Structure 1
Amino acid sequence: MTDSEIRAIEQTVTNPAQRLIVALAAVHATSSGTIRHLTLDDLDLPNRRITLAGHNQRLGELTLRALRSWLDHRRAVWPHSPNRHVLLAGRTALETKPVSHIYILDAMRDLGVSVDRIRTDRILHEALTAGPDPLHLSLVFNLSISAGSRYADIAERLLDSQLEHDATGQ
């Protein structure tokens, strides 16, 4: 993602659900399916921990603030919901199902970017800054080794291209 795209997203995010979705994708490289299925039991706010797709991680400040804001909103709007999923909508607040994939698409539509694009950008950013190590990417983002290898290969090509560009001065 370009710097201008990132700034546009920051300025466009208007509600707590969007902030949470963006934070989970941008910080933890969380997929939309994992975001949809996140439950209250996956959160340990006092210890600043979150479990994403079975992978326990530390909560950074951005994600923690987004979670607290969303949970305050959730409690105010649906104080007696039986649904244990973190994200709720009018219909799912009365059920026990997760929000639909359409809910995530709709939340992101105004931003002009998908969760997958933010997620991919986050993984590539890690590969470019920490080095294109497939094992590191697999451990940090709970990816398969083959997925970690694909991201590492892309990062390696980008880094090689940048080195060639710097060497030629163009």
Structure 2
Amino acid sequence: MPAVERIAVTPGQRLIVAPAAIHAARARAIHLTLDDLDMPNRRITIAGHAQRLGELAYQTLRAWLDQRRTTWPRTPNRHVLINAMTAPRTEPVSAEYLKRHLLHQGVHLERIRGNRVLHEALTVGTDPLHRALVFNLSHITASRYATIAQDLLDDQIEQPAKSG
């Protein structure tokens, strides 16, 4: 993820990447509203699924919310991520806004999301039920990740035997 580290340097850009990288959220989850956040209890609701906010996600949100409050103190917009065009209104930022800030620079949120789910499968285990619950995935999608993870793990086990 070197491209992400190079490109996501502002609090807003980090906020765009964090839900995908930490919670395996889809790009449309970027359209969170302030009602989806429970900062005192460190909780976030993504696509109707309440989750605990880890330290990195909490700090990322905190930094953005501080900048948001300073830049647009009287905005009526309830979306977490706003910009100069959406601050005076109530709609979320556009898909073009997301593309301009990340996709055109080589950062693909769906790829980051997929890598997060696969990383979980490789480090915690290939149990699809775990991933379905943690990332709010369908059982079919969770099972596909389990298969991919198991294939990767099997390949790693077989590699030393082939070279010896």
Category of TM-score, reference length = shorter chain:
over 0.9
1:150 deviates by 1.2
**Residue in 2 that maps onto 1:108:** 102
2:9 match: secondary structure = coil
**Residue in 1 that maps onto 2:132:** 138
Name stretches of at least 5 consecutive residues in structure 1 with no aligned partner.
1-5
**Distance in 2 between residues matched to 1:56 and 1:26, nearest whole Å:** 17
**Distance in 1 between residues matched to 2:107 and 2:3, nearest whole Å:** 10
Query: Which deviations, in whole Å up to 9, do the C-alpha atoms of 1:68-106 show, x marking residues without a partner?
Result: 111111111111111111000222112211111221122
Q: Percent identity?
A: 57
What is the number of equivalent residue pairs in this alignment?
A: 164
AA matched with 1:44: D
**Residue in 1 that maps onto 2:114:** 120
Q: Does residue 57 of the first structure (1) align with residue 48 of the second (2)?
A: no
The alignment's TM-score, normalised by the length of structure 1, stands at 0.90
Q: Is the 1:134–1:149 Cα contact (8 Å) retained in structure 2?
A: yes
The equivalences for 1:6-21 within 5 A come to 6-21=1-16
1:46 deviates by 0.8
**Deviating 4+ runs (over 4 angstroms):** none
Name stretches of at least 5 consecutive residues in structure 2 with no aligned partner.
none
The alignment's TM-score, normalised by the length of structure 2, stands at 0.93
**Distance in 1 between residues matched to 2:52 and 2:109, nearest whole Å:** 20
**Residue in 2 that maps onto 1:150:** 144
AA matched with 2:73: P
1:169 deviates by 2.8
Match of 1:25 among 20, 26, 47: 20
Report the CA distance shift for 1:92/1:141 in structure 2 as closer, same or farther (over 3 A). same
